[in-house]
Amino acid sequence: MSKSLVVVVPDADVLAATVASRLIAKIVDAQADRGTASVVLTGGRIAKKVLETVKDAPEAAAIDWSQVDLWWGDERFLPAGDAERNETQARAALLDALPLDPAKVHAMPADGGQTPEAAAAAYAAELGDPLPPFDVLMLGVGEDGHVASLFPDHPVLNETGTTAAVHNSPKPPPNRVTLTMSTIRTADEVWLIAAGPDKTTSVGAALNGDKSRPAAHATGVSRTYWLLDRAAAADVTTRR
C-alpha cells in the first residue's frame, strides 16, 4: 500500500491555492522526467477553485500545455455543454484559456442518445490497454464518502473493468460514467480533496478506518494525499 499523507490548511481558499501549486509542480516534474504529463481531473466546488487558481498562477508558465493529457475520473451523463458536466465546468474555469492539444483532452462521452454503458465502453477504449501513466488523479470526497461516481453500497463498487456506467446514483443526476476503483488505484498519486463542515463526517470516517466509505479505498501507487481544510479534517484522529 502506498504511503498516505494528510495535509490540513486553514480554509477552502488556502486549500485551492495549495492544490493548484502542487498540481503545477507535479506536471512540471513529470514533463522534466519524460516530456509529458497525464492528469485526471475531478469536479465540484474546490476543483473549480483549483483550476481557476492554476489559470492565474505565474508558475504555470513553466508547463508545456501541449504535452499534457487530461482525463476525468467521472462525469454526469448529460448532453454536451450542459452546465452540470464536469467537462463544461473545467473548460470554463481553465481549459479554454490554455494552448492544449485537443487530441489530449479526453472528455467522457456526453449523452447524445447512446446508453451510459456505451459511453463507458467508449471511454475504456480511449484509455486503452495498458492504461495511461496517470501522474496524479484528483478526487473530491463526497458527504457520504463517495469518490468519482463510486457511492457507498452501490453495485458499481464491485465492477472490475476500466470504466463503468452508473444508474440510480444517490446524487443527481442518476446516470453517470466513472472510472472504477481498480483504475483509480493505478495512478502514481491519488489526491483526495475536501473542504467544509459537510465533509467532516465522511473524511473522518474514511481516514479513521471506516472501509464502508469508498474514499478509504482510493490509493495511489506511490503516494496518497488527503488535502483538507480545517473544517473537513475536524474528525480526523489518525495519520497514515
Identify the DSSP state of 131: P
Q: Residue 6 in 3-state DSSP?
A: strand
> The whole model's pTM is what?
0.96
pLDDT at 1 exceeding the cut of 80 = no
Nearest to 162 by CA among 122, 110, 203: 122
**Rounded mean pLDDT of 142-157?**
97
The predicted pLDDT at position 227 comes to 98
Q: What is the CATH number of domain 3-229?
A: 3.40.50.1360
**Rounded mean pLDDT of 12-26?**
98
The predicted pLDDT at position 4 comes to 84
240 confidence band (pLDDT: 50, 70, 90): very low
pLDDT tens, residue by residue, 32-87: 999 999 999 999 999 999 999 999 999 999 999 999 999 999 999 999 999 999 99
Nearest to 191 by CA among 57, 19, 8, 50: 19
**Which residue is associated with the grid cell 487530441?**
103
**Rounded mean pLDDT of 213-226?**
97
**Rounded mean pLDDT of 96-125?**
98
